[in-house]
Amino acid sequence: MSQTFEFYDARAREAAAEAEKATLDNVRDRNLRAEKTWRKLADQASRVLAERHKAEQERTARREAEAEAEAEALAEATAEADARTID
């Protein structure tokens, strides 16, 4: 199951809040480590989302270029066929 940036970010904020409230050093340290880990996961999820978006844009551009090339080739073939028919 994939988690979202929002999920990881919320966990990081919760851990930071718990660290701030902690009165014991070991509890504060544990929550600060947890915050750091959740933050890394949030950053990674954000990067993955950005990479997916970029890849989708590239795929869309490639499909459009292929469709345009196909249309041009079809128009050229049709024009050649019409020219042969007229001769």
Residue extents of the structural domains in the chain:
5-86
Output the CA–CA distances (angstroms, integers) from residue 65 to 59, 61, 62, 70, in the order listed: 10, 6, 5, 9
Of residues 19, 13, 20, the one with CA closest to residue 31? 19
Give, for all 87 residues of the chain, the pLDDT tens digit: 468 999 999 999 999 999 999 999 999 999 999 999 999 999 999 999 999 999 999 999 999 999 999 999 898 888 888 778 776
- pTM of the shown model: 0.69
